[in-house]
Amino acid sequence: MRFALIMTRQNISLLGSTGSIGCSTLDVISHSDGAMHLCALAGHSNIKLLIEQTQQFKPKYVAVTNPQTASEVDKSLFPDGTILLKGPESLIQLAQLPEAQTVVCAVVGRAGLESTMAALQASKRVALANKESLVIGGELVIEASKKYNAPLLPIDSEHGAVFQSLRAGNHSEIKRVVLTASGGPFREYSEQQLQSVTLEQALAHPTWKMGKKITIDSATLMNKALEIVEARWLFNLTAEQIAVVIHPQSYVHSMVEFVDGSVIAQISPPDMRLPIQYALTCPERTPGPASQMDWSVCHKLDFFPPDMTQKRFKGLSLALKVVKYGGSSACVMNAANEVAVQYFIEGKIPFLEIVSTCCKAVDAHLQSGFIPHPTLDELIQIDNQTRQWTQRELDALANA
Ligand code: NDP
Ligand code: MG
C-alpha cells in the first residue's frame, strides 16, 4: 500500500454522507481548518438529513441515489447553485468528479462496489469504509488500486490500526495480523440463549454506535468475518497470517506481530473519527475531533482467544475458509449475509440462522458455480444468484 502526500486543500466527494460513517466524516471535515473541502455528497433515502448537510457544507454536487426518493425530491429545498443528481448511477459520477482528489466510500453493503471501483479507475485517493467492496471483489479492487495508481486507505478501525502498525516493519517481517473484536452484545451468551435473542438486543452494541447492518454483523461476528477477508486483500495476507482476539474494551484496534515477536498495536478510544481522519491525512497527523485517551484513570485491557469450536464463532472459521478458497466464495458469503441480516431485521428468521445461512450458501457454491478469478460482471451475477438462493432458503424456513 502506498502513501500519497496530501495537497494544500483536499477536495472530498463523500458517498453515503447520511450514514454513521458519513456523519463522522463531515465532523472531521468541519474540524480541518479548511484543509478539507467537501465538493460532493451522496445520500440514499434520508432526504431531510441530506438537505441539512447540503445547507451546512454547500457542496457543488449532491446526489440522491434511491430512485423513489429522488423522484419525489423538491429541488428548491437545496441551496441555489447546487447541482442535483439522481439515481444509483450518480454514485459513479461523484466517484469520478474531476474536482475531487479524494473519495470517501461510506455506502453500506454491495451497493458500494461499483463506485469504489469507479473511484479507483479515476485514480482517486480512496478512503474506504465500505468493506463489502473488498470482500466481494478484493482481487479486482487491489488490481485497480495498483493499475490506476489510486491509494486505497482503510477507514475500518481494525484495518486503520494494522495500517498504522505496519509502519513499524516490512511486509516480509509480518508474522501475523491480530484483529481485535469486541465480541458484541452476546459475548457471554450460551448457544441456547442466542437462539431467542431479539433485534433490540442485537442492536445494543456495548462499545460502538454504528449503522444497523454493521451492528447486527458485530453481534453475529460476521463483521469480523468480513474484516478477515478485508485484511487478506488490504495487506496481502494468507489465512494463516490472520488471527482474531476478543478484546471487550475496544481500545486496542488491532495489532501486527512481527517475526521477531514484537507486537505493535494502535490504541485509542472507540471513535471512528480517528481512523477516518487518518485515512484522509496520512502520512501526516493533525489535531482533530476524536476522543482522546484519559491516562489519569485506570484502564484494563482484556484479550481472550475466541473458541472457534463453538457454533456462535463459526463465521470466523467460514471467513478463514473463504480466504483459502478465494475467488467468488467471499462474494457468496457477503450476499447471503446481507439477505439474512435483512430477514432478521424484519423478524422473519431467528438470530442464529444468519451465520448458518452464510455457511450453507458458501458450501453450495463451492460444490457448484465457484469461479477462481471472477470478473466484475461475474461477481455481480453471482451476487444476484446468491441473493435469490438465500431468499428461497429463508422463505422456506420462515414458512415452515
Ligand atoms: P449506515 O447504515 O449508517 O449508512 C449507510 C449509508 O449508505 C447511508 O448514507 C445510506 O443512505 C447509504 N445507502 C444505503 N443503501 C444505499 C444504496 N443502495 N445505494 C447508495 N447508498 C446507500 O452505515 P454505516 O455508516 O454504519 O456503514 C457504512 C459502511 O462503513 C459499511 O460498509 C460498514 O461496514 C462500514 N463501517 C462502518 C463503521 C461504523 O462505525 N459505522 C465502522 C467500520 C466500517 P440513507 O441513510 O440516506 O438511506
Ligand atoms: Mg471494524
Taking a C-beta distance cutoff of 8 angstroms, is the pair 110, 331 a contact?
Answer: no
In this prediction, residue 307 carries a pLDDT of 81
- The partner residues of 254 in beta bridges, in order of sequence, read 179, 266
- One-character DSSP codes across 105-128: E---GGGGHHHHHHHHHTT-EEEE
Q: Which CATH class is domain 327-400?
A: mainly alpha
Taking a C-beta distance cutoff of 8 angstroms, is the pair 314, 359 a contact?
Answer: yes
In this prediction, residue 312 carries a pLDDT of 73
Ligand nearest to the CA of 254: 2
Mutational test site, ligand 1, from 13, 21, 54, 217, max ligand atoms within 8 Å of CB? 21
How far apart are the C-alpha atoms of 169 and 245, rounded to whole Å? Answer: 21
Residue ranges per domain, the chain? 10-155, 165-270+293-325, 327-400
Query: Long-range contacts for 34-37 (Cβ within 8 Å, ≥24 apart)?
Result: 34/9, 35/6, 35/8, 35/9, 35/10, 35/281, 35/286, 36/9, 36/10, 36/12, 36/280, 37/9, 37/10, 37/11, 37/12
How far apart are the C-alpha atoms of 331 and 220, rounded to whole Å? Answer: 18
**CA dihedral sign, ordered 284, 287, 293, 294:** positive
Any atom of ligand 1 within 6 Å of the Cβ of 393: no
Ligand 1 center–CA 164 separation, angstroms: 24
Atom of ligand 1 nearest to the CA of 217: 34
How confident is the model over 241-250, as pLDDT tens digits?
Answer: 999 999 999 9
Helix residue spans in the chain (DSSP H): 20-30, 47-57, 67-72, 90-95, 113-121, 131-147, 157-165, 191-194, 199-202, 212-220, 222-234, 273-281, 314-325, 329-345, 353-367, 376-399
In this prediction, residue 309 carries a pLDDT of 74
Any atom of ligand 1 within 6 Å of the Cβ of 107: yes
How far apart are the C-alpha atoms of 246 and 244, rounded to whole Å? Answer: 7
In this prediction, residue 3 carries a pLDDT of 44
In this prediction, residue 4 carries a pLDDT of 46
In this prediction, residue 316 carries a pLDDT of 96
Atom of ligand 1 nearest to the CA of 272: 40
Phi and psi torsions of 280, nearest 5°? -90, -25
Whether residue 283 has a cis bond before it, omega within 30° of 0: yes
In this prediction, residue 308 carries a pLDDT of 79
Any atom of ligand 1 within 6 Å of the Cβ of 69: no
Which residue, by CA, sits nearest to atom 16 of ligand 1?
A: 44
Any atom of ligand 1 within 6 Å of the Cβ of 154: no
pLDDT in tens, the chain (400 residues): 444 444 468 999 999 999 999 999 999 999 999 999 999 999 999 999 999 999 999 999 999 999 999 999 999 999 999 999 999 999 999 999 999 999 999 999 999 999 999 999 999 999 999 999 999 999 999 999 999 999 999 999 999 999 999 999 999 999 999 999 999 999 989 889 999 999 999 999 888 889 999 999 999 999 999 999 999 999 999 999 999 999 999 999 999 999 999 999 999 999 999 999 999 999 999 999 999 999 999 999 999 999 877 777 899 999 999 999 999 999 999 999 999 999 999 999 999 999 999 999 999 999 999 999 999 999 999 999 999 999 999 999 988 8
Determine how β-strand 252-258 pairs with β-strand 263-267.
antiparallel
Domain 10-155 falls in which CATH fold? Rossmann fold (3.40.50)
In this prediction, residue 2 carries a pLDDT of 41
In this prediction, residue 171 carries a pLDDT of 97
Taking a C-beta distance cutoff of 8 angstroms, is the pair 74, 100 a contact?
Answer: no
For the chain, what is the largest distance between any 2 Cα atoms, rounded to a whole number of angstroms? Answer: 62
